[in-house]
Amino acid sequence: MACDCDYILPRMDDWEEHYQNCSTIWIKDHGIEAPKNSDGSLQLRNRHLSTLQRDVLYHLGLDTENYDLPAMFGDVKFVCIGGTKHRMKEFAKYIAKVLNIPDDGLPNLTKRSHRYAMYKVGPILSASHGIGIPSMTVLLQEVIKLLSYAKAKDPIIFRIGTSGGLNILPGSVVISSFGLNGTLKKSYDIPVMGKIMEIPSIFDKRLNQELLYIASEEKRFSTFSGGTLAADDFYQGQARLDGPFCNYTESDKLSFLSVLVGLGVKNIEMEATAFAALTREAGLRSADVCVTLVNRLEQDQVTPSKSVLLEWQQRPMLIIGKYISKYYETRYKL
């Protein structure tokens, strides 16, 4: 198939075929080669793992000896993660309806660990990750190992989250094009043995554009593509004035937020950098799709009612649900 990497929007029908066949897409989007096996399963680049007789995925409550991971998870094509157990169960129920798959009561597959929640509906895995980068990366790294051991083929992973918006109407959705850390760098910086390891935090451009295209059909709310500040804190880390500590002024806050706007940042949450960085390192295509709960240029507190918040949290689910059903429609011509 001829390579035509610059198309995105008009030819949605052959996207999957194109991804499978065009080896330059990943490199174009990420600047590195995807570490994948020839069958599309993830290749773990850690030679120490081969010395383990069994690998215990401690926080998932699963391991490679007592569970047949290829039989349990080998068919996974899409993984969706998000902060809360409730949201991820709702997503599992929603996607079961969209794909017309019985949901078998949705047992929590991580119940032996009591840490996160994970549900499986056909080829879709839905897992909660808690708040912030450390909690999310533990879940994500164990899911990456799980997908690799299961030999899942070319999986795609989404985060469906909530955030504070910058200059956009609350209830709008942002699909992150890059993650910015608290020092305004496009990287996930993690101390490893006394030194900072920096990993770029740029999202897959093509997936971002496809999701934006799909979201543009939705008329009840607006969706934007833009940068996302991944703060290490909900309060001072996000320039809020309503935390228990604060030694800056409202004008400091507003000038910081306008610096962010000038850098193309559309929203603030607490995971985007690490999510972009680790999925890119793993060769996993990913997108971070978050609804905004508040316009941070106007207020700090999250004040909408519970029912409004729950309705807004369904918006990223709608976009991802449409993407997934489009994937199966185009593949199986449903």
Report the binding-site residues: 115, 159-162, 238, 240
Question: How far is 76 from 123, CA to CA, in rounded Å?
Answer: 4
**Cβ 237 to ligand LQZ7MJT6 shortest distance, Å:** 11
Whether the Cβ atoms of residue 206 and residue 300 lie closer than 8 Å to each other? no
Q: Which of residues 225-244 bind ligand LQZ7MJT6 (CB under 6 A)?
A: 234
Least distance between ligand LQZ7MJT6 and beta carbon 116 (Å):
12
Output the known binding site for substrate.
238, 240
Record the tokens describing residue 239, joined without a space.
Answer: 């320039």
- Closer by beta carbon to ligand LQZ7MJT6, 41 or else 208: 208
The verdict on 226 binding ligand URA (CB under 6 A) reads no
> Tokens at residue 65, please?
């000896």
DSSP of 166-203: SSS-TT-EEEEEEEE-TTS-SEEEEEETTEEEEEE-B-
Does 82 help bind ligand LQZ7MJT6 (rule: CB under 6 A)?
A: yes
Rounded to the nearest 10 degrees, what angle do helices 272-282 and 132-150 cross at?
20
Considering beta carbons, is residue 162 or 236 the nearer one to ligand LQZ7MJT6? 162
Minimum gap (Å) between residue 303 Cβ and ligand LQZ7MJT6:
14
Q: Is 174 in the site for ligand URA (CB under 6 A)?
A: no
Q: Determine the Cα–Cα distance for residues 170 and 167; give it in Å rounded to an integer.
A: 9
131 interface partner picked from ligand LQZ7MJT6, ligand URA, none, CB below 5 to 8 A per type = ligand LQZ7MJT6
Dihedral in degrees, nearest 10, Cα atoms 28, 31, 37, 41:
-80
Footprint on this chain of ligand URA (rule: CB under 6 A):
162-164, 234, 238, 268-270, 293-294, 302
